[in-house]
Each structure stands twice: as structure tokens, then as C-alpha cells.
Structure 1
Amino acid sequence: MEIYRSFIFRLVRNYLVGSLAAVFVVGTVVMVSTLQIPNIEFVRLILIVFISLLFMLVAEGIALRIQLRPIRRFFAGEHHERAELSRMYEVIHHFPGRTIYRIMGPHLLGFSLPAAGLTLWMLTVGWLDFPTNYVAVAAACAILIAIMHALIEYFLTVRAIRPLLMEARRRGKQQYGTEPSLGGRVLVSIQRKFQLSTALIGLFPLCLFFLATFIRLQYMDQEFAKEYILWGIIVVVLGAGFALVGSWLLIRDVRDPVAELTKEMNRIQEGDLGRRAPDLYADEFSALISGFNMMINRLEMRQERNRQLLQSYFSTLAAALDARDKYTAGHSMRVAEYSLMIGKLSGMSDEQADLLYKSALLHDIGKIGVPDEVLLKDEKLSEEEFAIIQTHPVLGESILLQIEPMDAMADFLPGVRSHHERYDGKGYPDGKAGLEIPLFGRIIAVADAFDAMTSDRPYRNGMSHEKALSILEEGKGTQWDPYFAGLFIEEWRRKEHLHGSSERGVS
């Protein structure tokens, strides 16, 4: 509750300073400089201001108490539901905006109405002596003062709520491990704040001067005062126009770089680090954009480093597996290269091709769980031993599922589990057929079979490339996906033809 009490202290201090400045300093100066009245009447006006100020403070206290009730109740407790934390975080953010209503209501209703009523009563009983239309002018001044007070109070409150927000975030982190956030939602746009505040700052002194001068002229030349009204209205309208145009130009100068940075951040969130935000500004935004681009450079370097580490991790796993059997050394790497070739021939994107390559590197990772006496046997396997070998796709999937975070390996699981499925449904472990077999599994199956047929084994020598290609061709549509097998066969024969032609050219 200490943070809450500190917040209340700042809130009350800001309000009292603003109220005294608005009501006593501005209001009294306007009265002294414009009204030519006896001292006793001036004292009576000060009494009206004081009584009206008491009404305003009471109304303000009631409104403030109502607005603070949920915040006070929240900070009085220690443990909160996650939804309550998020809701209160947003309530605190809305508090400065509600301050405007809290200021305007008591000013207009709690101050202006009692002040106007008491002034009219004193004019009726003869305690004050000036034209009644001055009351309307004073009411207009009160509205201007209330607006400026609300504007100042808004920006002061924006700063005052920051410790509350930090405490809410701390509690969320402590209790649930996550800090509450608006998630990028805009509750009050910069454009709206800048346009309203700059326009009001420009109009406030102009309107106040117009009203004070009108009263002053009443004592000097009433005919000229009537002419002054039209002239003054024209000046106020022109001033309002300049203020609005100026605020629009100012907000555009701030909005454009903010929009540019927001666009670039959204692009980065989608994973695109290839571009940089253009540095087109000569103010502080230049330093901001320069720092933003430097951050992208660091992210890109880290991403590349992580990619290299991940690639090295996969290659090391594959090499460790291949090292168990000297006859299959390099098998995983060759299968990955063949799979990548098929993926690119099929028009696969670079991102998908990279996932395919990594899946192929890991396709036999489950053989780590196969006993050496089965995996390294020099003779043909018995049915029981072959059944053990057939478990390696499922074992591989289980191994990858142990890696944290759980979604890190999600893209590689289908290819690892399904690379021994057959297109006709007679494969293992799930007996899937045709397009039911995951894409990566259908591609890796072709690459795996070709390398297995062309590699030496303890019980047989590897067959020629052409014979292996012929077997692939015969098995299209039954054992292997006809499209991917056809792509591989055609590309391999094309390369061999080019290689043969180049050798004849050299000889």
C-alpha cells in the first residue's frame, strides 16, 4: 500500500497546485485587471470564489473517491487472479483519461454554478454593481480555465500512474511468471493527444485575452466594444485555424516516423530481418531509428549464429549415429543432400527446404535406441531382429519429443516417423498410403532407399546407380511417391549424362 499512498499524495499535490493556479491566480488576475469595482465588491467576489472552490473540492473529492475505489481495493490485497491483474493494468491506464471528466465536472458544476448563482444573487440585492452579461463572460472564462486545468492534470497523472503500473507488472511476474501488458493496443492515440493539447494551448490565451479585453472596453467605450466583438471573433477563429493547422503539421511530423517504426517492427515480428528502417529524419528520431537498425543487425547476427549452432547440432547428431556403424558412415548426410535436391526440384521454398534437410539428417536418429547386436549384425536379420529395426522411426520421434521447448522439433517429427511408409500402404509404422504420408516422409523415403541400395553392407556390395534408379522407377506408385521418385530419377540421369559428356569432351 506504500506505493498507493505515494500515488495519492502526488495526485492530491498536483490537483491542489493546478486548482489554485487556475482558480486563484488566473481567475483573480483576470478580475483585478479587467473589473473596475470598489474594494468591498472585490472582497465579495473573492468570497464567492472561495465558497465555490469549497463546493468544487467536495465534488472533486467524491468523484476521486469513486474512481480510486477499484484501484485502492486492488492494492490493498496481495494475491490476485490473472484476469484481475490484466483488468487492473488497463484500468490504471484509463485513469488519466478519466481525470479529465473528474476535473471538468466539478469545475463546471461544483464551481461555475455556485459562483454564477451567488454572483447573480449579490447583483440582485445590490452587493455587486456591474452588468449581468459579465456573469456569462466569467462562465466562459471558467470553462477555458477548467479545460486547461484538465489538460495539465491529464499529463501529470500520466506520470503519476507509472509506479502503479510497475507494481502491477511486478505482482504479475511474481505470481504467474508473466507481466500484464496492453499487448500493443492503443488506448489513446498520439495524434489525438497532440492535436487536442496543441490546439488548446494555442487557443487558451487567445480566448482569455478576447474575453478580458471585451470587459475592459466596456469601461472605456461601449460602442467600440460592440465593434470589437466582431473583430475579436474573427481573430479567435483565425487563431483557432492556425492552432489546428499547426497541431496537424506537428502530429504528422511525429506520426510518420512512429508509423515507419511500427511497420518495421511488425515486419520483424513476422521474421523478416532483411531490411532496415530508412533514416530520413534530422531530430531525435534519427537516433531512435539508428538504434532500431542496430538492434536488427544484432538480431540478424544472433539469428545466423543460432542457425549455425542448430545446423551443427543436427549434423553432430547424424554423425554420432553414423559413427556407430562404419558401413553407414555418411548415410544421414547423403540422404539429407538427396532430399534437399528433390525438395528444390519440386519448387519448395527455402524455408521448407531447410526443414526438409534437417528432417532428413535426423531421419534415423531412432537407431540410437536399437541394440548393437541388431544394428551392427553382419548377416541378414531375422524376423524378430527386423521387427526391432522397424521400431526406429517411432523411437526417433520419441527422442525428438524429449527436446525442449516441445515445439522446437515439431516440424521434423512427421518426416522422422514416416520415412519408411510405402506409397501402397504396406510400410511401417502406421501403414499410411499415398498422400496420407507426410510430405517430408515421402521425399526422404526416396533418398533413403537410393542411398541404401548404392551403399555397401557387410552381407552385400552396393549396387550401381543405374540399377538403383531402375528399381526406383519400377517402384514408383507402389513403394515410393511417383512424383518425387520421378524427379530424383530424371535429375540424377541428367547429371550423369552431363558428366559423361564432359568426360568425352576432355578425352
Structure 2
Amino acid sequence: MIEYRRFLRRLVRNYIIGSVLAVLCLGGAVITSALRLPIGGFDALFVVLFSSFVIMVSLELLAFSRQVKPIRSLFLTEKPALEDIRNAYMRIHRLPSLSVLRILGPHLFGLSIPAVSLTLLFMRLGWVDLPVYYIGIAASGAVLVAGMHALIEYFLTDQAIRPLLKHVNETSEREYGVSMSLDGRVIVSTQRKFQLSAFSIGMFPLFFFVLATQIRLSVTGSPLIEDYWQWASIILLFGLLFSSLGAWLLSRSVRQPIGQLEKALRAVQTGDLDVRASDLYSDEFSRLVSGFNHMVKGLSQRQRINEQLLQSYFSTLAAALDARDPYTAGHSQRVAEYSLLIGRSAGLGAEQLDLLNKTALLHDIGKIGVRDSVLLKDGRLTDEEFEQIKKHPALGEEILKQVEPAETMAPLLPGVRSHHERYDGRGYPDGLAGANIPEFGRIIAVADAFDAMTSDRPYRSGMPIEKAIAILSEGKGTQWDPRYAQIFIDAFYQEKEISEPRRHLADA
């Protein structure tokens, strides 16, 4: 509640500052000149102004109370709900825009309209004596003062809400562990803010000057008053055009670099760390662009290092697994190469090929949990021993589920678990068939079988490549996915060189 009271004090202080700047400084010339006008019935005019002022203040207090209601409720509740915190957070962000409505609305409906209405009534009753067009001048001056006051109030409120936003965010994190954020949502665009501000700064003093001059000429009885609005209208028109053009140019000069940085940030969010923002600016944006490019370059370098470390991690795991059996040394690496051969020929993208490579490297990781007496047995396996071997795909999946971060391993799990499934549904561990088998599992199954058939074992020599290819061809549609088996057969003969040199392939 202390922070809320501080916030209210800041708003009151800002309101006084805005009133002094807008009403006293800018309206002083109009008010001073107006006091010299031949006006009768100042007592009645004082009643008009006082009554209108009371109405204006009442409406403004009512509007302010409604605007801060969600914020006040938040601070009056001992443990506010998360949704209430979120609503208050959004309302705080909207307070600068709402402050403009809070100033303009009461000035128009609480001051100008009642003042004009009462003045016309008093003129009809004979209590006030002044030309009717003076009322239009006064009303125009009140609107201009309100506009400048609203502009000042907007920027002062924009600064005043920062500590309150920080406090609300800390409350959300403390109570619910949730950080409040707009998540890129724009309440008021920079372009609109600059355009309206620059236009107001250019036009408000000009309008005040025109009104003050009108009043001064009326007081002095100058003959220029007759054709005053002819040339005043021309001045206002040129001022309007120049202010509009200047506001547009200023907003564009700010919006262009911001838009370029936004585009570059979106590219970074999609994973493109090679993007760079063009350094085309000589103001503070030059430092901002330079800092952004330096940051992205650092992220790109760190990503390359992480990718190298991750690839080394996968290769080391595969090598450690293969080291258990000297007769299958390099099996995981070869299966990965054969799988990539299939994947490239099948048109997989770079990201998918990377995941396929990692999955293939770790496809037999579950064999870590198989006893050496079974895994390294020279002869045929018993039914019980074969059942132990059949557990390694599911065991591999469970092992990888324990590796953090989990989202990195998640894409690898389906292929590791399913690489011994058969296309006809007679494989293990789940008996999946056809397209129900994950794609990586179907690809690795072909690569794994080919390397197993062509590699030497203690109890047999590796079969000739031609025979292994023939077996793959015969097993299309039963043991292996017919598409990927045929892709491997075709690609194997078309591939002039396989990255990992193998003696029995080089001799073929």
C-alpha cells in the first residue's frame, strides 16, 4: 500500500506541474488580454467559471477513480489472485493513455460545455455583456489548454508508472512465481506517439498566438481586426501542413531503425543467428544497432560451440557403447552414416538430418543395460537371452529420458525405441506396423540391418555387400519400409564415397 500512496503522490505532483505549465504559462497571454476586454458582469462570469471548475474537477476525480480501481483493489487485497495482478498490470500500462482521456473529457464536458451554456444563459438574462464570438474564443482556448495539459500529463504519467510496474511484477513473482510482461504487445506505437506529440508541440503555440492576437486586436480596436482571420487562416493552414509533415518525418526517422531491429529480433527468435541489423544511422541508434549485432554474433559463436560440444557428446556416448564389444566397434557411427545417406536421398531438411544423426548414434544406447554375458556371447542366444536383448530399445528410451535438458532428447526417443520394429508388425518392443512406426525408426532399421549383415562377428564373417543388398530387397514391405529400403539400395550404389572408410566397402 505504501508504493500505491507514493504513486498517487507522483500523479498529484504531475497534475500540478501539467496545470502550471499548460494553464499559467501558455494560457497566461490569453487570460491577461481577456481581462482588458470590455466585458460586463464579471461577478456572473466568476460564478460561471467556478461552477464549471467544480464540475470539471468532480468529473476528473470520478474518471481517475474508475481508472485506478483495479490497481487500488490489488493493493487492498492481502493475497490477490493471479488474474487480478495481470489485470492491474495491464491497467497500469494503459494509465498514460487513459490520463489523456481523463484530462480532455472533463475539460470538454465539465468545463467548456457548462461554461458556454451558463454564459449564454446569463447573456440572455442580461447578467453578462460580451460579444458572442468571445465565447468561441474562450472555448477554443480552453480546449487548447486541455490538449497541452493532456500531452504533458501523458509523458509524466508514463514515467510515474515504472516503479509501480516493478512492484506489481515482484508481487506476481513472489506469490505465484510468474513474471508479468506484455510479451511484445504494443499499447501505444512509437510512430503515433511521435506524430501526435510533434504535431501538438508545433500547433498548440501557434493556435494560442492566433487567439491571443485576436483578443489583443479587439482590446486595442485595431483596424487590422477586419481582415485578421483571412491571413490568420493562411498562417494556421501552413502551420498545420508544416507540423504534420515534421511530425511524419520525425516519426519515420525513429520508426525505421526500430522496425529494422524488430525484424532482426524476429529472425533471432526463429533461430537465425546469422542475421545482422544494418548500421545506417549516426545517432543513438548506431550504438543500439552495434550492440545488437555484437550480441547476436556472440550468441552465434556460443551456439556453434554448444553444437560442437553436443555432437561430441553424442559421438562419445556411441563410442563408449561400441567399446564394450571390439567386434562391433564403429557400429553406431556407421549406422548414423547409412541413416544420413537415406535421409539425404529422401529429401529430409538440415534440422531433421541432424536429429536423425543423433538418434542413429544413440540407437543402441540401451545395450548398456544388457549383461556382458549376453551382449558378448559368441554363439547363438537362448530364448531367455534374446528376450534380454529385445529390451534394449525400450531401455535406451528410458535412459535418454533421464538426460537433461529433456526437450533436447525428446525428438530422439521415438527412433531409439522403434528401430527394431518390423514393417509387417512382427518387430519389438511394441509390434508397430507400417507408417505407425516412427520415421526415424524405419530409416535406422534399414541402416542397422545392413551394417549388422556386413560386419564380422566372432561366430561368423560379414556377408558380401551384394548378398546384404539382396536380403534388403527381398525384405521390402515385410521387415523393412519398402521406400527407405529401396532408397538405401539406390543411394548406396550411386554414392561414390562414404565418409567413414571401411575396408570391406573399399574393396568392393
- Which aligned pairs between 1:11-410 and structure 2 lie closer than 5 A? 11-33=11-33, 35-37=35-37, 52-113=52-113, 115-116=115-116, 130-221=130-221, 223-410=223-410
Counterpart of 1:396, as a letter, is G
Encode CA deviations 1:174-233: one digit per residue, 9 max, x unaligned: 223231112212121122211111111111011111111112112344653131112111
Measured after TM superposition, the shift of residue 129 of structure 1 is 5.5
Specify every segment of 5 or more residues in structure 2 that has no aligned partner in the other structure, as ranges.
Answer: 500-508
Cα gap change, 1:258 to 1:498, in 2 (>3 Å): closer
Residue aligned with 1:387, SS:
helix
What is the RMSD of the two structures over their aligned residues, measured on CA atoms?
Answer: 2.6
Q: Contact 1:35–1:216 at 8 Å: present in 2 too?
A: no
Measured after TM superposition, the shift of residue 11 of structure 1 is 0.1
Measured after TM superposition, the shift of residue 140 of structure 1 is 0.7
**Partner of residue 2, structure 1:** 2
Encode CA deviations 1:266-302: one digit per residue, 9 max, x unaligned: 1111111222111222221121111111111111112
Encode CA deviations 1:366-392: one digit per residue, 9 max, x unaligned: 111212221122221001110111111
Cα gap change, 1:117 to 1:427, in 2 (>3 Å): closer
Counterpart of 2:306, as a letter, is N
Q: Contact 2:365–2:396 at 8 Å: present in 1 too?
A: yes
Distance 1:26 1:497 in 2: 83
**Partner of residue 505, structure 1:** none
Q: Contact 1:322–1:330 at 8 Å: present in 2 too?
A: yes
Cα gap change, 1:444 to 1:482, in 2 (>3 Å): same
Q: Contact 2:400–2:413 at 8 Å: present in 1 too?
A: yes
Name whichever of 454-463 and 486-495 sits farther off.
486-495
Distance 1:182 1:498 in 2: 52
**Partner of residue 476, structure 1:** 476
**Partner of residue 505, structure 2:** none
Distance 2:173 2:201 in 1: 40
Distance 1:71 1:52 in 2: 29
Encode CA deviations 1:148-168: one digit per residue, 9 max, x unaligned: 101110111111111111112
TM (norm. structure 1) is: 0.91
Distance 1:413 1:427 in 2: 17
Encode CA deviations 1:229-287: one digit per residue, 9 max, x unaligned: 12111211221111111111111111111111111111111111222111222221121
**Partner of residue 502, structure 1:** none
Counterpart of 1:171, as a letter, is T
TM (norm. structure 2) is: 0.91
Distance 1:94 1:281 in 2: 31
Measured after TM superposition, the shift of residue 58 of structure 1 is 3.3
Encode CA deviations 1:8-40: one digit per residue, 9 max, x unaligned: 000001112222333344334322245425899
Counterpart of 1:206, as a letter, is L
Residue aligned with 1:412, SS:
helix
Distance 1:334 1:497 in 2: 13
Corresponding pairs, count: 499
Measured after TM superposition, the shift of residue 465 of structure 1 is 2.6
Counterpart of 1:444, as a letter, is I
Q: Contact 2:29–2:212 at 8 Å: present in 1 too?
A: no
Distance 1:138 1:161 in 2: 34
Measured after TM superposition, the shift of residue 444 of structure 1 is 0.7
Q: Contact 2:100–2:150 at 8 Å: present in 1 too?
A: yes
Encode CA deviations 1:34-90: one digit per residue, 9 max, x unaligned: 542589988987786566544433332232222222211112224333322222211
Specify every segment of 5 or more residues in structure 1 that has no aligned partner in the other structure, as ranges.
Answer: 500-507
* Identity percentage of aligned residues: 56
Cα gap change, 1:354 to 1:342, in 2 (>3 Å): same
Encode CA deviations 1:305-360: one digit per residue, 9 max, x unaligned: 22112112211221221122222222111111111122112222111111110000
**Partner of residue 503, structure 1:** none
Counterpart of 1:208, as a letter, is F
Name whichever of 26-35 and 126-135 sits farther off.
126-135
Distance 2:33 2:497 in 1: 103
Encode CA deviations 1:417-445: one digit per residue, 9 max, x unaligned: 11111222221122222322221111111
Distance 1:496 1:44 in 2: 104
Q: Contact 1:34–1:213 at 8 Å: present in 2 too?
A: no
Counterpart of 1:366, as a letter, is G
